[in-house]
Amino acid sequence: MDVHTTVADFQAARRRRSGSLGLVPTMGYLHRGHLALVRLAREENDLLAVSIFVNPAQFGPSEDYEAYPRDMDRDLDLLRRERVDYVFAPGVEEMYPPGHDTWIDPGDLGTRLEGAHRPGHFRGVATVVAKLFNVVAPDRAYFGQKDGQQVAVVRRMVSHLGMGVDIVAVPTVREEDGLALSSRNVYLTPEQREAAPAVFRALLAAERLWSRGERDGDVLRGAVRIVLEETPLIEAVDYVSVAGTPGLAELDRVTGPAMVSVAVRMGRARLIDNLVLDPASLPGSH
């Protein structure tokens, strides 16, 4: 496994081998969710690159950029075992040299949901993903469905700008009790950790209603809120959304594919999760 910290080194190494290339972009501190991406990418491509870069541009000024957990040695051990070919782990100056001031603006989609609570977040995401795609030139790139809006932003960017990378969304990996895996789960105290699966239960409540035929957006959002509000350790609910995919506009009536998503705050952690409401998954839809 090659580990490269500069664009030039990575590209020189890449040129020495031919074959299809998969990319798994990460911010490191890898968990089983990342490994699910890596394993799928390993199966689907001749060569596999994983990037590790905690991207300052996607953190707000009051967010956890400095505190974001990092453990490069452990990450490299994990990736070696998955037979990764290239790790691209640039420093901040390699990705954003002094004077960097060109940005990808993901438009309205970037201002909704996570974007409304984290202004500039998706501009930072889109910019770093575009740069990684340009530098690494993958055939396919793999993202976790847990960051559902991120998947939507990246897919749209690739389509609108003609980037020619296949975007693969990989189902969310969960703990046994339903909590979606996230590097930020380390911020939870034991009590918070025990209460955190309420987020997934709240999403399931909406999904259950929807699968029984409920199509009213407010009723579905209300079902999510009831579960969240029963959970005292949840200090704030940033949003509860039932939105159409892929544009993520909030829905009055759920008449097609949709995503139910939430963001809540619990102590130092901010937890996000979502479920896709896919009409094709309903009994009798085939």
Q: In angstroms, rounded to a whole number, what is the distance separating the alpha carbons of residues 204 and 250? A: 18
Q: Which of 52, 104, 199, 263 binds its own copies (CB under 8 A)?
A: 104
Window 149-168: contact mask with its own copies (x via CB under 8 A): -------xx-xxxxxx----
User: Does 32 participate in binding its own copies (rule CB under 8 A)?
Assistant: no
Are 228 and 234 in contact by the 8 Å Cβ rule? The answer is yes
3-state secondary structure of 255: coil
30-42 in b/e form (b: 16+ CB < 10 A) is: bbebbbbbbbbbb
At its nearest, how many Å lie between its own copies and the CB of residue 97?
8
| 25 interacts with its own copies by CB under 8 A | no
Is the Cβ of residue 36 or residue 126 nearer to its own copies in the bound state? Answer: 126
Catalytic residue chosen out of the listed positions 4, 34, 121, 286:
34
69-98 positions binding its own copies, by CB under 8 A: 97
Angle at 142 between CA 59 and CA 49, to 5 degrees: 90
**Contact partners, residue 87, CB within 8 Å, separation at least 6:** 1, 2, 3, 4, 49, 50, 51, 52, 76, 79
Of these, 60, 119, 171, 247, which contacts its own copies (CB under 8 A)? 247
Interface with its own copies: number of residues (CB under 8 A): 29
286 is catalytic: no
Instruction: Tell me which residues touch its own copies (CB under 8 A).
Output: 7, 97, 99-109, 123, 126-127, 130-131, 134-135, 156-157, 159-164, 247
